[in-house]
Chain A
Amino acid sequence: MFTKDLIDNLLSTSIEENLHKKSEEIKKRDKEINSFITLGIEEAEKASKEIENKIKGNTQGKLSGLVISIKDNIAVSNLRMTCGSKVLENYVAPYDATVTNRIKKQDGIIIGKCNMDEFACGSDGTSSYFGPTKNPRNIEYVPGGSSSGSAASVAADFCDLSLGSDTGGSIRCPASFCGVYGFKPSYGLVSRYGLSDMAMSLEGPGPFAKDTYGIALLLDVIAGKDSRDTVTVEREKLSYTETVEKFNDSDIKKMKIAFAKEFFEGVDEGIKKIILDKIGDLESLGAKIEEVSMPNLKYAIPIYYLVVFSEFSSAMSKFDGFKYGHYVGGQDIVEAVSSTREAAMGTEVKRRVLLGTFVTMEEFRGKWYTKALKARSVIKEDFKRIFNSYDLLIGPTMPTLPWKIGERISDPLSMYSADILTVSANLAGICASSQPIGNLKQLPVGLQLHADSLCESKLLKGMRAVEIACGGM
């Protein structure tokens, strides 16, 4: 396994050298790809020396000096945290997110903060105040979003692992477009403390890697209950890396996998074929494959965006420029707040704040927000029914290949529709992943797996099965 071999290799060679190689690559190529907003090379070098010493004494943590990039909406103390926005252009985080803290404790080397769609509002990585991220597979194409820099930095080999966040596909979409592994954990498995808010009831941090083992490794480090996030729960006792390591070909025979035709509606024919071929491969390896129905999937997008707008407009209230961030000022409080927000927020952010304010107004709340919350439980029921009989639900991650940069920026509805296959996992709070299984027109195609809430082990086994079906080590 790639990441496992890498660690073994690192332990016997030099982690300082690994870090140096990465930072050289970044210097050479990131001007173009633009996957980082802030780099912390000096801090990283200091950390690498300390970890090197630990390795000599064989006391190193699980991450053993792997180089890790972190999405810029997750707090790393003393590093800038911009959320891809002018609003926080000069904001330096005064504390570590729980996930950051856990990565540091397990001796991951944080190399920098990744570019992203402004406040995670976007599906293609082009709405950042710091300029669009480009797809390392082909720089004319979008990398997907909103964790654009996280996916791109892994794909470009600027780091070994990355941490992103997923509210409606923000990990899986860029993982699919950039051809890397991305994992959205179940809601409540990974602490959100230190993750800047987009839609609080939907999102959480999650890992990017170059293989299933890498995903399991970072998940082992970040998962588990946190007193600073009341929605978190205890994790399974079993180690995720062990689950992946112990998995072998014959285990595929025990798997019951469902696919729903609704997950293929409107999907690019080429992508459809690649996914169906892979499902066929799994079947021939012994997995039991059956077709099921997800009748309410068509409601997922409107439900998802109503929840997002409502929670996002509430979360964005704090950015008034008084305490931190960009400040314009005015004659009175109302003018000061509005002129600051007018000047510093991008178009998509403003659109979502305004729509969210509208749908949560007393007059309309019953019509929109409350209804959306009710409809959300219908989607949950659909998944529950499926996971009563199956281990996994399989399908494509994205309905299309990456598009060219700038192509969809003026049409929010076509942008929103790109999320059709990813948002339902967030609405249901279950876990889901994306992994590369082939290419179409020299662009990567991602396969999506879903498993029930807090069944991360099942999902990792599924990813490993697909990895094996693709001829992976």
Chain B
Amino acid sequence: MQLHEDKYKDLNLKIGLEIHVQLKTDQKIFCECSSDYINSPPNNNICPICTSQPGSKPMGVNERALENLLKIGLFLGCKAYEKPFYVQRKHYFYPDLPSNYQRTSQPILGNGSFMGVGIWEIHIEEDPGRYELREGKVDLNRCGVPLAEIVTAPEIKSPEYAREFLRDLLLSLEYLGVIRGESGSIRADVNISIMGGNRIEIKNVNSVRGVYKALKYEIVRQKAVLQRGGTISMETRHFDEASMITKTLRKKETVADYRYIPDPDLVPIFISSDRLNEIESVLPESPHNKKKRFMEEYSLGEEITDALISDLYLADLFEEVTSKSNPLEAGKWCATELKRRLNEKNLSVSTSKINAKHISDMIGFIERGELSVKNAKWIIEDAVDTGKDITLLMKEKNFYQINSEDTLIKIIEKVIQDNPKAVSDFNSGNQNALHFLFGKVVNETEGRAEPSKTIKLIREKLCVVS
């Protein structure tokens, strides 16, 4: 069951994504220019090839880019096609595209899956430059930065799950070290259909949040159109990031004809099985295999496991914790409280200050009866936010549990004195009064009273009083 899937069940909502990520390389895909388009002045990292000067030719597809793309494919459980693939020319006129065609390969790998969503195919292409429409300025630094396009099956069933899928996919790719870090975002074309309507494509959505917002908007819009008795016909829409709504770009009857031809300047590329095996052998464990192993090796439940592997840095941290702590405890804390705090702060394990020692120390304190479960949740928040040592936080927060009977008795006596009504209620047989008084003791000690001892002592005291 996907996140919030049941909310959209009646709509038969189907969402498919075409996701573009920039592959990590030092050089551009078809030339030797630096692919760093962000930290250099406009039109600085350019050459006759990436600016399409008359007579220039593309060099072969950048090896590193291709390797990173293969890593992505294999990691997502895809198979490489056995035939050599051609790079094709996709023709359209736009100022950021100096040749007025984009080089984009045929599918290189396909038939994979990630988080229960099918991956149809993955191919490589070149990023165009950047065009400032209002100023009429073009910066070609980005032109030729290698992109991977990942096409999913229309198997995502809620905007919420689309968001989670994208967030987790990005984390995985970052973990693999195959995408450009600084871009931090993705570009996606979003396909959506609901029952009674045709497929709508929303082009060029530039963030995970944008994908979520665009989908939310589209669902409301399409439902409204259908309710009024209108029809949803196939079209391409554009997402306006500022107003968070989508607008018609073109109807499908006027579908763009890109006049694809195989690029005569590039020889078809064959990927040998030796090469694939070599890459596979150094690839980190795929999410699919990791899930299987976690459930078998650590006896974790599926829900906890899914939460852990959705962030591979978190999965790594969890495994590190298990070397010192009980895996079930480690899994529970990592998958619930730690993940919740990271999401709240929009962080990942890799970008926050949390480490394995924090979690295993904390579990140690709980097991020794020095930290209550309730306060442990606060400790995790502080550890994520500050990265401070757990022992230090225990002291700073004064979280050590009160175990001494003498101390507890003193507090209990005070509480009994202050709440005569509860005492008489208890004496007339109302068991709830015991819990009420326990609550008072917990409050009095800021949650530090050791629970089982406290209950035992309250009961004893009440019996004495009566």
Which of B89-97, B165-173, B280-288, B427-435 sits within the interface?
B89-97
Is B60 in the interface zone, CB < 8 Å from A?
yes
Q: A190 at interface (Cβ–Cβ under 8 A)?
A: no
- Whether B52 lies near A318 (C-beta < 8 A) is yes
Are the CB atoms of B95 and A322 closer together than 8 Å?
yes
B95: chain A residues within 8 A (beta carbon): 322, 333
Instruction: List chain A residues, Cβ under 8 A from B101.
Output: 314, 317
Q: How far is the CB of B266 from chain A (nearest CB, A)?
A: 5
Does A228 interact with chain B (Cβ within 8 Å)? yes
Q: Which of B152-160, B230-238, B257-265 contacts A (4 or more CB under 8 A)?
A: B257-265
In the assembled complex, A374 has its CB within 8 A of some CB on chain B: no
Interface size on B, residues (CB 8 A): 29
B265–A200 touching, CB < 8 Å: yes
- Determine which of A195, A228, A310, A320 lies in contact with B93 in the assembled complex, contact meaning CB atoms within 8 Å: A320
Interface contact A310-B55, CB-CB below 8 Å: no
Find the B residue at minimum CB distance from A83.
Answer: B54
Q: Which of A90-98, A126-134, A210-218, A380-388 contacts B (4 or more CB under 8 A)?
A: A90-98
B48, B51, B58, B99 interface centre (most CB from chain A within 10 Å): B48
Q: Is the CB of B52 within 8 A of A73?
A: no
Distance, CA A230 to CA B261, complexed state (A): 17
Tell whether A318 pairs with B54 under 8 Å between CB atoms, given A230-B59, A231-B267, A357-B259: yes
Is chain B's interface secondary structure helix, strand, loop, or mixed overall?
loop
List chain B residues, Cβ under 8 A from A317: 91, 93, 99-101
Q: Is the CB of A81 within 8 A of B99?
A: no
A94 touches B53 (CB 8 A): yes
Asked whether B99 lies within 8 Å of A318 as measured between CB atoms, the reply is yes
Tell whether A369 is near chain B: CB-to-CB under 8 Å: yes
CB contact between B264 and one of A74, A311, A320 (< 8 Å): that residue: A311
Q: Which of B245-268 contact A (CB under 8 A)?
A: 257, 259, 261, 264-267
Evaluate contact between A323 and B267: CB separation under 8 angstroms. Answer: no
Chain B residue nearest to A369 (CB atoms) is B261
Pick from B59, B100, B264: contact of A200, CB below 8 A. B264
Name the interface residues of A51-90: CB closer than 8 Å to any CB of B.
73-75, 81, 83, 88
1/0 contact string of A360-385 vs chain B (CB within 8 Å): 11110100010000000000000000
Q: Is residue A162 within 8 Å, beta carbon to beta carbon, of the partner chain?
A: no
Query: Is A227 a contact partner of B259 (Cβ separation < 8 A)?
Result: no
- A379, chain B: closest CB distance, angstroms: 17
Does B369 count as interface, using CB distance less than 8 angstroms? no
A73 touches B55 (CB 8 A): yes
With A94-B48, A310-B261, A318-B99 already in contact, the answer to whether A333 and B55 are too (CB < 8 A) is no
Task: Give bound CA distance, A190 to B399, whole Å.
Answer: 78
B57 at the interface (CB under 8 A from A): yes
A324 contacts across to B, CB distance below 8 A: 53-54
By beta carbon, the residue of chain A nearest B256 is A362
The reply to whether B261 and A311 contact each other, CB–CB distance below 8 Å, is yes
B101 to A, closest residue via Cβ: A317
In the complex, chain B residues 35-79 whose Cβ is within 8 Å of any chain A Cβ: 48-49, 51-60
Contact call A333/B259, Cβ cutoff below 8 A? no
Contact (Cβ within 8 A) B91 A314: yes
Nearest residue (CB) in A for B52 is A318
The smallest beta-carbon distance between B254 and chain A, in angstroms, is 13
Partner of B57 from the list A81, A229, A362 (CB cut-off 8 Å) is A229
Q: Is B197 an interface residue (CB 8 A)?
A: no
Distance, CA A74 to CA B91, complexed state (A): 25
Residue on A with the closest CB to B31?
A: A228
B100 in contact with A333 (CB, 8 Å): no
Contact A196 B91 (CB under 8 A): no
Contact A193:B57 (CB < 8 A) given known A94-B48, A201-B264, A322-B95: yes
CA of A156 to CA of B51, assembled, Å = 38
Q: How far is the CB of A332 from chain B (nearest CB, A)?
A: 10
Kindly provide the distance from the CB of B86 to the nearest chain A CB, expressed in whole angstroms: 12
Q: Is B451 engaged at the interface, CB distance under 8 Å to the other chain?
A: no
> Does B98 make an interface contact (CB < 8 A)?
yes
**A107 at the A/B interface (Cβ < 8 Å)?**
no
**Residues of B contacting A230 with CB < 8 Å?**
57-60, 265-267
In the complex, the chain A residue whose C-beta lies closest to that of B267 is: A230
Taken together as a complex, chains A and B put the C-alpha atoms of A75 and B53 apart, in Å, by 10
A197 is an interface residue with CB less than 8 A from chain B: yes
Q: Given the complex of chains A and B, what is the CA–CA distance between A195 and B93 in angstroms?
A: 23
Q: Which residues of A contact B89 (CB under 8 A)?
A: 314
By the criterion CB–CB under 8 Å, are A192 and B57 in contact?
Answer: yes
In the complex, chain A residues whose CB is within 8 Å of the CB of B51: 323
Is the pair A323, B265 in contact by a Cβ cutoff of 8 Å? Answer: no
**Contacts beyond the supplied A196-B55, A227-B59: 6 A-B pairs with Cβ under 8 Å:** A75-B53, A95-B56, A193-B55, A314-B101, A362-B257, A362-B259
- Across the A-B interface, give the 10 residue pairs with the lowest CB-CB distance, nearest first: A317-B100, A200-B264, A201-B264, A360-B259, A194-B55, A196-B54, A196-B55, A318-B99, A95-B48, A230-B60
